[in-house]
Copies of this chain bind each other. A is one copy, B any other.
Amino acid sequence: VKSRRATSFDIAELAGVSQSTVSRALRNSLLVSEDTRRKVRAAAQQLNYKVDVNARNLRAQRTNTLALLLCADNEASESQINPFFLSMLGSITKASAHHGYDLLVSFQHFSNDWRADYEDSKRADGLIFLGYGDYTGYISKIARLAEQGAHFITWGPVLKGQPGHFLGSDNRAGARGAVEHLISLGRTRIAFLGTKSDAFPEFKERHLGYCEALQAAGLLLDPALQVDAFTSQEHGARAARQLLARNRPFDALFAASDLIAMGALRALQEAAIEIPQDIAVVGFDDIEEASRSMPALTTVRQDTKLAGEQLVVRLLALIRGEGFEASLIPTQLKIRKSCGACG
């Protein structure tokens, strides 16, 4: 049977000092002598003492905890979460721990009940939103949170006049670079797979980058070469089939995400099309799987490690009451076999 937990009073008794001194000593206060600090530490260790975080949080009015709210119901894949966000989850978890914060993780079923009251209830000092690609319903809720003075940051598109604070990759530049690369390889009829609606600003930015690259090269922007698709293999495959059905010639394909690209890859291969000989394919994200597809997928890498770290660092700054300057995280083109540049 487990004995009663030790409290700071127990430590105080054992170490022969007052309870307040114990508290100070354990928090490394400078107002305590090296000698007593040692005594207190020894006593704490002996009694296997651990600070009760609830008492601490209640008294100190902060939790040393962040909450990660992951959107669970994409339009796309019902069951499975986008691997890119899982990668982000990993890096956020690590960054959070690195800064001495615990992390609460919650999948939000957006439609029904949107629980963003982690801060109100003093469960967390701040919130990170992830995976809210569908902007329309989200932004109004965000606005309300921002009004209330909540501390939160959202991974997503960095646009002018948004409520709240956003951090995201430089989607437009990344897309532009990818398409420029395709053009430099001699491809001229480049299709875009992904929705370009206002509801999905990240995809829209990628589409803009695509358009910019084409225009800069003096190439025709053929609307028939764009097909809507959400982030999933199924949507990607379906979109590729639609594209083929249009009987419009194209020699390259830029997908708004790796999942779309990989679905397309498969659909094209099923139609006996050779990648990259017949059609070059480029994706976006650089999920693990991208490097393992056949052929390996050229893609625009989002730096999830830096992104997670930055999300945490900047959220902590917000919590401290510091300002926020918008910025974009650079992407990097990962050239693999699917675009025909190598291999």
**Which A residues form the contact surface with B (CB < 8 A)?**
1-2, 5, 48, 50-55, 57-58, 63, 65, 68, 72, 80-81, 83, 86-87, 89-90, 93-94, 97, 102-107, 117, 120-123, 148-149, 233, 262, 266, 269, 288-289, 292, 294
Q: Would you call B289 and A52 a contact (CB within 8 A)?
A: no
The answer for the CA separation of A50 and B149 in the assembled complex, in Å, is 15
The answer for the CA separation of A65 and B63 in the assembled complex, in Å, is 14
In chain B, what residue has the closest Cβ to A72? Answer: B94
Main secondary structure of the interface of A (DSSP, over half): mixed
The answer for the CA separation of A90 and B90 in the assembled complex, in Å, is 12
Q: Would you call A120 and B288 a contact (CB within 8 A)?
A: no
Copies in the complex: 2
The answer for the CA separation of A5 and B119 in the assembled complex, in Å, is 11
The 22 sampled A-B contact pairs (Cβ below 8 Å) are: A1-B149, A2-B148, A2-B149, A48-B120, A50-B117, A50-B122, A54-B54, A54-B58, A58-B58, A80-B90, A83-B288, A89-B105, A93-B105, A94-B107, A97-B107, A102-B104, A102-B106, A103-B104, A103-B106, A104-B105, A233-B292, A262-B292
Query: How far apart are A105's CB and chain B's nearest CB, in angstroms?
Result: 4
The answer for the CA separation of A233 and B289 in the assembled complex, in Å, is 11
Residues of B within 8 A of A65 (CB): 104
Residues of B within 8 A of A105 (CB): 68, 89, 93, 103-105
* A121-B52 contact given A104-B103, A106-B103, CB 8 Å threshold: yes
- In addition to A83-B83, A104-B104, 9 A-B residue pairs with Cβ atoms within 8 Å of each other are A1-B149, A51-B121, A52-B122, A65-B104, A80-B288, A81-B90, A93-B107, A97-B107, A103-B106
